[in-house]
Amino acid sequence: MDLARLRDADLAALADAAATWRGFAVRLYEVDDALPARVIGPLAAMTGEATTAAQESLASLRGLLESRAMRAEAMADVFEQVHDGLTPLQRDLRTLLLQADAERLTVGEDGVVTAPEVAPVHHEYTDAIAGILSRAETLEASAVAAVTDITPERIGVVGVVGAHEFNDVRDDAHENGIALDVPRPRDGMSPEEARDWWNGLGLSGQRAFLLAYPEEAGAMDGLPTGVRDEANRWNLRRDIEVGWDRDAAADMLAKLESRDHLPPEKRAYLISYQPPGPNRDPDARIVASIGDPARAANTGIYVPGMTTDLPSFSAPDGGFDRTVAMYNATDKFTDAETAMVFWLGYDPPDAPDLAEPGHLAAGMSDNAANAGTPGLDRFINTLNATHDDSIPSHTTVVAHSYGSTLTGIADSTEDGLAVDDILFVGSPGVEVSDAEDLHVGAEHVWVEAADDDEISYWGNHGTDPAGEDFGANRLLTDTPGHSGYWIEDSISLNNMGAILADHPEKTTRTDPRNEFLGMVVE
């Protein structure tokens, strides 16, 4: 960067270019957002080979639109950063030139400043100009490096896009973020501090951070639900390409996208995602929601039990389907906005090998439950801290099987969980002997336990929550076994919906069990 180029540069053109690229990105995102409601939604009710082919083609088109929009945003970031960086340098240079002229000094095109009498070098001005030109040259070089991977021939090319395309775009955006010194949060921010930091970035700063550091954005408590969903879907797409369980990751993305055609308050949001390790050790960590918890009047948090993992999330009657079922059941009892969260923020025990001695050891241990309680407590506190203050909030934990053990421990230690109600479903015990030992209070402890649910009789984690000695409110069930509670239109599911909607008076109750059937394990 030489003196004349910086002095005479039309920096307004850089701002115009940034605005043009960003407008292009916005338009691509708008088209991508419109596809689910206008095209994909109507196709969901159709079947056949042609419909399947059309759905696959549209999914590819959405991927293409999003990847191109990401590249366009990256280009806008580059132009904006260069404009913002060169503007003060150009101003400082022009000021120095005016000052030098006022002192009747001569400024050469090489930036060397001399006095007219004996032509000595005027080092103060010369050094100042050299410093400005050096910083401008560094900025220019960074911009060139950032643009190198955002080649024009890769933008606007129509074709099929796969997960590798997103990974290419992500890698480029990350490199751009480093080159352009995109702002990053300090370590240890509280959710409230993170929210304020995010709001202070401005739109361009937010998009630059999201593109450059999606892993951080996806995991950052305090950021808007939609932002974390966008970041985590990018992270999920990366897992589809290079992860340890690619098919399950792809199934999960398909489940999430199946609701993209619905209004925002009914869509699926991926709030947090950590891919599974080799051989699912550890299992994936997944937090997904139907509806936005930050704006919901009623929020449910479903804590699943043993064997829950990435594949089971998308399986029939798995985590996603159960979460949707509870969301729909809640809607029957309220017109207020609802959010139903699937929380797998811990590593639950795997399925026991029934052929091995001590096969129930994992389920009998409370190690995994104890390890998961801080995460559940932190997640609930984050929801409360980032909830829209103008909207009343009612929060319920629905904990199934081993998830009830985790929840019981979490609500009986220290200051408990900051929730209004807890519903234990098919519980083998919650590590307390009386509902009064829970911080939420016995009147807000609810239990569903089918008569033929053998696991609810185990008692390996304390007093039977459905028994009369425990003191909880037992709800009537009409569904079979340990996993049938979510059958559509059942009394069991409707009772869940009434509790989640904060209408306990609309539940159907039953007497507690009058005897405890413990399972003896040898």
Per-residue pLDDT of the chain (522 residues; tens, 9 = 90+): 788 888 888 888 888 888 888 887 777 777 777 767 666 666 666 667 776 676 666 666 666 677 677 777 777 877 888 888 888 888 988 888 888 888 888 888 888 888 776 556 567 888 888 888 888 888 777 776 666 555 444 333 333 344 445 555 555 555 555 555 667 888 889 999 999 999 998 877 787 788 778 889 999 999 999 999 989 998 898 898 888 999 999 999 999 988 988 888 999 999 999 999 888 778 899 999 999 999 999 999 999 999 999 999 999 999 999 999 999 999 999 999 999 999 999 999 886 644 444 445 555 789 999 999 999 999 999 999 999 999 999 999 999 999 999 999 999 998 999 999 999 999 999 999 999 999 999 999 999 999 999 999 888 898 999 999 999 999 999 999 999 999 999 999 999 999 999 999 999 999 998 754 444 333
Does residue 399 contact residue 322 with C-beta atoms inside 8 Å?
A: no
Residues 411, 295 share a domain: yes
The CATH number for 48's domain is: 1.20.1260
Residues 139, 264 share a domain: no
Upstream peptide bond of 282 is cis (omega within 30 degrees of 0)? yes
Answer yes or no: is 289 within a domain. yes
Answer yes or no: is 438 within a domain. yes
Residues 146, 276 share a domain: no
Answer yes or no: is 426 within a domain. yes
Q: Which of 84, 119, 152 is a domain's end point?
A: 152
Answer yes or no: is 85 within a domain. yes
Among 55, 75, 63, residue whose Cα is nearest residue 28: 63
The CATH number for 313's domain is: 3.40.50.1820
Answer yes or no: is 377 within a domain. yes
CB-CB neighbours of 78 under 10 Å? 25
Residues 292, 281: Cα–Cα separation, whole Å: 30
Backbone angles phi, psi at 471, to 5 degrees: 85, 20
Answer yes or no: is 365 within a domain. yes
Does residue 45 contact residue 132 with C-beta atoms inside 8 Å?
A: no
Report pTM: 0.74
Q: Name the 3-class secondary structure at 267.
A: coil
H or E stretch covering 131: helix 123-148
Residues 486, 348 share a domain: yes
Residues 264, 267: Cα–Cα separation, whole Å: 5
| Lookup: tokens for 511 | 């007497």
Q: Which of 152, 179, 211 is a domain's end point?
A: 152
Does residue 320 contact residue 313 with C-beta atoms inside 8 Å?
A: yes
Residue with token string 């008569």: 451
Q: Name the 3-class secondary structure at 65.
A: helix
Assign residue 400 a region: left if phi > 0, alpha if psi is -120 to 50, beta otherwise? Answer: beta
Residues 346, 460 share a domain: yes
Q: Kindly tell me the burial class for residue 442, based on how many C-beta atoms sit within 10 Å of its own C-beta (0-12, 13-18, 19 or more).
A: middle
Residues 145, 261 share a domain: no
Q: Work out how many domains the chain is built from and give that number.
A: 2
Residues 274, 143 share a domain: no
Residues 345, 463 share a domain: yes
Q: Which domain holds residue 105?
A: 3-152
Answer yes or no: is 74 within a domain. yes
Kindly give the pairing relationship between strand 268-274 and strand 285-290: antiparallel
Residues 280, 131 share a domain: no
Q: Look at residue 197 in the predicted model and tell me its pLDDT.
A: 93
Answer yes or no: is 328 within a domain. yes
